[in-house]
């Protein structure tokens, strides 16, 4: 016999769990994008600072070669910082998404187990002989009261 309340409870739990996992994935994806944007802004700020500093050196001291070298160094440093930050953001996003994948896989397995359990119960009910000798396959349209009570809730 199928415990209707337990089956409905399992279905409700699954209905709640799956959308939360999807929202978590979207939130993680947004966080990763925000981190990448922040890294890009930081890189642009560093490049702008390097350009300003290079212009200052050229204007104030006439040290064109030194200014160009410092500018290249700062730009390279900015690019390295940006890449490092992007790499860290990507690693974090992958880590969180892998964890989410595991959670979603567990949820899917729970759903599949629940379906299999309900299929087994239904098959057992359909194959079980009734007191009148019927096998309970319901192919002849003869529903016995006991099987009907197991599948449908009692009506007041």
Both tokens of 153, joined, read 């809730």
pLDDT on residue 136: 52
User: Which tens digit of pLDDT belongs to each residue from 49-94?
Assistant: 988 887 776 676 666 777 788 889 999 988 898 899 888 888 888 8
The pLDDT of 120-149, averaged and rounded, is 64
Tell how far CA 2 is from the center of its chain.
Answer: 32
- Domain positions in the chain are 4-119+132-147
Q: 126 with 137: CB under 8 angstroms?
A: yes
pLDDT on residue 151: 46
The pLDDT of 38-54, averaged and rounded, is 88
Residue 97's pLDDT band (cuts 50, 70, 90): confident
Q: 28 with 96: CB under 8 angstroms?
A: yes
């Amino acid at each position: 016999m199928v415990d209707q309340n337990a089956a409905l409870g399992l279905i409700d739990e699954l209905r709640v769990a799956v959308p939360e996992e999807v929202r978590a994935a979207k939130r993680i994806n947004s966080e990763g994008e925000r981190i990448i944007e922040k890294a890009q802004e930081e890189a642009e700020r560093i490049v702008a600072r390097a350009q300003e500093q290079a212009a200052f050196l050229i204007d104030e001291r006439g040290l064109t070669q030194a200014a160009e070298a410092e500018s290249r160094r700062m730009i390279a440093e900015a690019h390295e910082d940006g890449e490092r930050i992007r790499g860290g953001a990507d690693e974090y996003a992958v880590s969180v998404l892998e964890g989410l994948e595991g959670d979603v896989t567990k949820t899917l397995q729970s759903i599949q187990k629940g379906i299999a359990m309900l299929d087994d119960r239904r098959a057992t009910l359909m194959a079980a002989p009734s007191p009148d000798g019927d096998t309970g396959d319901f192919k002849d349209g003869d529903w016995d009261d006991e099987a009907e009570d197991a599948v449908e809730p009692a009506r007041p």
